[in-house]
Amino acid sequence: MKNWVISGMNYLAHLYLSGEDEHVLVGNFIGDYVKGKQFQRYPLQVQTGILLHRQIDWFTDRHALVKECGNRFRENYGRYAGIVTDVIFDHFLAARWTDYSASPLRPFAKKVHAVLLANFSLLPTRVKLFLPFIIQHKRLESYATLKGIHESLAIMGRRTSLPEEADFALEVLQRDYESIRKEFEVFFAELVDFVEANFEVYIQKPRRVDATKKASE
């Protein structure tokens, strides 16, 4: 029997937007699995990460470009089109990682794995169950390839209530690749600005990005 899909799966974006605080990162990673006031059970900085996760989702779910992208997948995915968009946007973040992060993707992923394992006792049961799979199969890094995205959607189709339409999603992605990439770039720049302007989060970007931003200010 499939488990119920509750929320998005854009782990890489949430991890990236956590900044340098390890406990904020833990909270942001588990945010989908902590409901209501349950966040109050966690240490303060983990609470901050959980609440940050909710605000990122709030911003994302209401953004016009995210909705526009999701419409491409609605025919076969219905109300789960937004989840597919989350996964595909993680692809563009991973594929163009050096445009956004000062740390290469592999070291970043390894650091994330180490932080989550060091805080394993804080993770909700469902997260404890799938974390070894994410680490073993290098899922965060795999998002950078179309094969990795297809595999992720296929796994979700088999194990969750997401429709088994990975082939359809890949076909749409390949057909509209450049259009979706441009939508992601505009949206994600606004999301980064939203997080940095409203929360005490510092994201280590490549020097050329920081220099360009300062020059325009």
Instruction: Return the domain boundaries, the chain.
Output: 11-206
Distance (Å, rounded) from C-alpha 172 to C-alpha 182?
Answer: 15
Tokens of 104: 């290469």
* Banded model confidence at residue 3, pLDDT cuts 50, 70, 90: low
DSSP H or E stretch at residue 172:
helix 166-175
Q: Please give the pLDDT value at position 52.
A: 97
Rounded Cα–Cα distance for residues 30 and 209 (Å) = 29
pLDDT classification of 4: cutoffs 50, 70, 90: very low
Q: Between the CA of residue 167 and those of 51, 70, 87, 147, 160, what are the distances in Å?
A: 34, 16, 14, 11, 16
pLDDT in tens, 40-61: 999 999 999 999 999 999 999 9
- pLDDT for residue 215: 45
Distance of alpha carbon 206 from alpha carbon 24, whole angstroms: 21
The pLDDT of residue 6 is above 80 = no
Question: Is it the case that residue 217 has pLDDT exceeding 60?
Answer: no
Where are the strands (E) in the chain, listed by range? none
Rounded Cα distance, 31 and 66, in Å: 20
For the stretch 153-197, pLDDT in tens is: 998 898 888 999 999 999 999 999 999 999 999 999 999 999 999
The mean pLDDT value for 145-159 works out to: 93
Identify whether the C-beta of residue 53 lies closer than 8 Å to the C-beta of residue 200: no
